Structures are given as structure tokens and as C-alpha cells.
């Protein structure tokens, strides 16, 4: 073997993404507002981990949403909810999600697809993302039927009106929401 060809193949094996993760690892980004993370999101993370080696739960900035929990607290809550999944991690990104995917060497974007109006906007976003970054696939996962009607704002609304929201969110989120509600009273 020519010494130069060995050198380049070793470099190939050692190739790393800009974040330092090995490029061979199948990484997916699960972006969202996660304000806060719900049991529905956790279910999607668990299922994404069956398909990918590494799943980055990434908080993005929605152009119009005001934000209930500060970003740092949302990330802490995500970390508490994924503590049992060593191949999952959390992050926060600014700008386009596809650029974040390129930065971390991800090959896929995970999106949950629910029947209540998700399809058209998700389809449009999937097409736009593919146009911008053709090598990144969007993978849609269908949530369990019992989780399909949940959304973060719906849970916040139930909590705000004194309803029982606890069954829709992991324990650390329920505690954080109770603390938030108590502070507002
Ligand atoms: N279980 C429970 N709820 C779920 C869910 C699930 N499996 N999947 C989605 N939801 C809910 C969320 O809680 C959220 O509820 P809310 O509207 O009450 O807050 C809602 O569905 C929307 O989901 P989410 O996946 O969080 O998307 P988003 O529209 O809030 O934000 C960003 C997505 C932030 C990632 C996106 O706007 C973004 O990346 N922006 C950056 C710019 C960019 O790249 N845009 C795309 C250009 S093509």
C-alpha cells in the first residue's frame, strides 16, 4: 500500500464532525421548542434511539413563540428526562436547524407527526430543509395514539386553569411547573 493512501484512509477513520463526534456514528437531531418537554417528546426520543446511535434533543428558537420556561431551564428539564439514555443529549441552537445538523454531523432530523394539522407544515419544512441541505433526511415518527393530542401549550393551559396536567409530563417537569405556578400566585 502506498504510504499516502494509508494516511488518507486513517484520516478517514478518524474523521470527526465540527462538534468532535465520530462521523461514522448515526446522529439525529430532534429539534423543537420543548417548552416544556412532555411525555410525548420522551416517547419520540426513545424511538429515535432505536434508529440512531446518538440523538441530540435540540432547542430551537421559534420565530413567534414567546417562551414560558427560559431556555436554560428547558434544557435542564430535558437533561433530567433523558438521564437514563446515555446516547441522548441536549443542546440549544440559534439559526437554521439544518446548519446545526451540519455542525454536529447529523444525518437526520427527527419530527413527530401528529394527525392534528402537523402534516402540511411539516411537509413544507421537510422540503425546505432538503433543498438547503440535500444530505440530511427528515424522519417522521408517529406518536403513540394516547400522546397524539398533547402539546406543550395545551399542558400549560390545563395547568394554568388548575387541571391535572401531571400525567402528560415527566416528573421533573411536573415539579418545575408546580413551582412556576406557585411563584405566580
Ligand atoms: N408530543 C407532545 N407534543 C408534541 C410532540 C410530541 N411528540 N411533537 C410536537 N409536539 C408539540 C410541541 O409541544 C409544540 O407545542 P406548542 O406549539 O404548544 O409549543 C408543537 O407540537 C410544535 O412542535 P415543535 O416540534 O416544538 O416545533 P416548533 O414549531 O415549536 O419549533 C423549531 C420548531 C424551534 C425547531 C423550529 O421553528 C426551528 O428550528 N426554527 C429554526 C429555524 C428553522 O430552521 N426553521 C425551519 C426552516 S425550513
Q: Indicate if the pLDDT at residue 23 is higher than 90.
A: no
pLDDT at 21 over 80: no
At residue 69, φ and ψ (nearest 5 deg) are: -90, 140
Look at residue 20 in the predicted model and tell me its pLDDT. 58
- Asked whether the predicted pLDDT for residue 10 surpasses 70, the reply is no
Residue 11 has pLDDT above 50, yes or no: no
Greater model confidence, 97 or 2: 97
pLDDT at 2 over 50: no
Q: Is the pLDDT of residue 157 over 50?
A: yes
Q: Which of 39, 41, 111, 156 is catalytic?
A: 41
Q: What's the pLDDT score for residue 9?
A: 37
What topology is assigned to 25-184 in CATH? Rossmann fold (3.40.50)
Catalytic residue among 7, 16, 62, 65: 65
Instruction: State yes or no: is 152 an active-site residue.
Output: yes
**CA 171 to CA 165: how far, in whole Å?**
11
The per-residue pLDDT for 146 is: 84
Q: pLDDT digits over 87-135, tens only?
A: 999 999 999 999 999 999 999 999 999 888 889 999 999 999 999 999 9
Rounded distance from Cα 181 to ligand 1 centre (Å): 23
> In sequence order, what DSSP letters do the residues of the chain get, joined into one string?
--HHHHHHHHHHHT-B-TTS-BTTS-EEEEEE--TT--HHHHHHHHHHHHH-SEEEEEE---SS---SS-HHHHHHHHHHHTTT-TTEEEEE--S-HHHHHHHHT--EEEEE--TTT-HHHHHHHHHHHHHH-TT-EEEEEPPPGGGTT--HHHHHHHHHTT---GGGS-HHHHHHHHHHHHHH-
Tell me the CA–centroid distance for residue 52 and ligand 1, in Å: 20
Cα 155 to Cα 147: distance, rounded to the nearest angstrom: 12
Known catalytic residue: 41?
A: yes
What residue ranges do the domains of the chain occupy?
A: 25-184
Mutate to test the pocket of ligand 1, among 62, 90, 132 (most ligand atoms within 8 A of CB): 62
Amino acid at each position: 500500500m502506498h504510504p499516502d493512501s494509508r494516511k488518507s484512509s486513517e484520516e478517514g477513520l478518524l474523521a470527526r464532525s465540527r462538534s468532535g463526534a465520530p462521523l461514522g456514528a448515526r446522529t439525529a437531531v430532534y429539534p423543537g421548542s420543548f417548552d416544556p418537554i412532555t411525555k410525548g417528546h420522551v416517547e419520540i426520543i426513545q424511538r429515535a434511539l432505536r434508529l440512531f446511535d446518538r440523538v441530540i434533543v435540540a432547542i430551537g428558537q421559534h420565530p413567534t413563540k414567546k417562551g414560558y420556561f427560559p431556555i436554560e431551564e428547558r434544557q435542564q428539564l430535558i437533561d433530567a428526562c433523558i438521564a437514563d439514555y446515555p446516547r441522548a443529549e441536549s443542546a440549544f441552537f440559534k439559526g437554521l436547524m439544518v446548519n446545526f445538523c451540519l455542525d454536529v454531523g447529523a444525518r437526520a432530523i427527527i419530527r413527530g407527526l401528529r394527525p392534528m394539522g402537523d402534516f402540511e407544515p411539516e411537509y413544507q419544512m421537510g422540503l425546505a430543509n432538503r433543498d438547503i441541505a440535500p444530505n440530511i433526511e427528515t424522519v417522521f415518527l408517529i406518536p403513540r395514539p394516547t400522546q397524539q393530542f398533547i402539546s406543550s401549550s395545551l399542558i400549560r393551559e390545563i395547568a394554568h386553569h388548575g387541571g391535572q396536567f401531571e400525567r402528560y409530563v415527566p416528573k421533573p417537569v411536573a415539579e418545575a411547573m408546580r413551582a412556576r405556578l406557585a411563584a405566580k400566585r
